[in-house]
Structure 1
Amino acid sequence: MIKKIVLLFTVLVLASCSSSKPAIATTQKAAAQKARVTATKKPVKTVKNYPSTNNTTEVIQSTSKTVVTNNVITDYVLQYKEIAMGNMKTYGIPASIILAQGILESGAGKGDLAIEANNHFGIKCHKDWLGESVRHDDDAAQECFRKYPQASESYRDHALFLVGKKRYESLFAYEKDDYKAWAKGLRACGYATDPNYPEKLISYIERYNLHQYDCQVTGKNYTPINTSAPAKSTPSNSNSNDPNLYEVQKGDTLYSISKKFNLLVDDLKKKNNLTDNAISIGQRLRVK
């Protein structure tokens, strides 16, 4: 009897072991398959879409020399356009002018003052400044420039600077969205000593369609510049068909023009008495 009980117990144990092995094997196989699937999954990437323009390089000369690409300038505009439009509503300064000055004065946010001090408009300390400051070489060595906790305060201070200074009163007689009058007026009021300052601002406004933000504030319809149509000739006594002259088109840089006419950039600048790399749409350059 005891032998029968032992034999029955042995049979039950063997049957139990035999039935559990396939379950373990199945579990291991499923785990291996899951591991293979997980290993083949690719990480998800965030793709940043840029405008379909040639990502050319240009030099912006302000309080520091900054080399930027079209994409850097586009990103700068997208980052600060809301602040610019808000300041236009509050203070009456064209958003296009604010953004163009920001691009030019800060090197599209990549200049030394913008990085060190969040100063996007090259505003110096002056006697009435009580905030923090940094020293930076400009017209003279180690001049005092305002330092801001964040860039938005630099934008606000720029607006208050124009509104609060009597020398800029005449600007506010212009139409709020007349960016050309404002660009020329800033130079006439002494905001900048560079004789080409208005043309530089207008060039940025037209190349990057900044006037659209003026129109968003005023409610006017905005018509983008037609890049497929030939640019209008600038009135001149010179022959418009002169093969020695080239009219700057949207997207042109001194580098691209120099390559087109097999010139060095420095030679092109000498021929046209240019002190920097800034050019504007419709400008006529001597290339031969």
Structure 2
Amino acid sequence: MNQFKSRIEKYNYMKQQQKEQRMKVAKRTVPLLGTAMILSPVAISMNTVKVSAAETAQTQNQSAFIEQLGASAMQVSSSNDLYASIMVAQALVETGFGSSQLSSAPYYNLFGVKEYSGGPSVTMSTQEYLNGQWVTMNEPFAVYNSYAESFQAHATLLTGNYYAGARKSHTNSYQDAAVYLTGRYATDPSYASKLISLIQTYNLTRFDTPGAGTAVQTTSTQTTTTTTTTSTTTATQSSGQTYTVQSGDSIWGIAEQFGVSVDQLMADNGWSSDSVTIMPGDTISI
């Protein structure tokens, strides 16, 4: 028996059935889409927390590393006429904040010191700035038993005549020492700016002990030193011939005072880059 009285009723019935079927499909689909929309933000949030935690841990590790370096630097710097701030900054540059393989156990080489005398060493690749470009080379690096031993060896190296211009007694500040080491300790032309930036960013001067050339000196001492240097400089500029080296002077600082290049000053006095050592009381030609 035909339940529809007309074709129109049959057509309307079929349309209603199709609509109900689509609604059933839609109801089964919506929860799945809703679940995906809810889970996505949670996943993003979890990832963000992980990255933040990693960054926090890295910062904490770097701070601990700096404090560890500072403690070792203070032990050897004061007795060797050196800036602890410079030593710590050098270690940070050379090791990439302790991330380099050479600075880790079992090598403990914090300063990229090379070994050519037959002592314990390990060969690793390194980049050197030669003839205006970076060159990768394989070099033998010294191996130490601890960070303390690495610092002591570094202090012994810096107190040699070749690095005399980096001592406290031969400089007015750690900036002078950083400039002096550039081209001597490291071939990187931006070495000084890197050291100075690290010292200022992480307040590394807090590891420096009072002494000639340090920023820890009292105001009265600094004023006296400045007055003496100024009067001597004025007299020398008038004569244009000689200058008497004062305590805290450096080759770079003297050259800057008289408006000449370091190379010119060295040439005027017959100095070579391997034997530059000035002491208070020395008379040099300008």
TM-score if structure 1 supplies the norm length?
0.48
Task: Give the structure with the higher percent helix.
Answer: 2
Larger radius of gyration: 2
TM-score if structure 2 supplies the norm length?
0.48
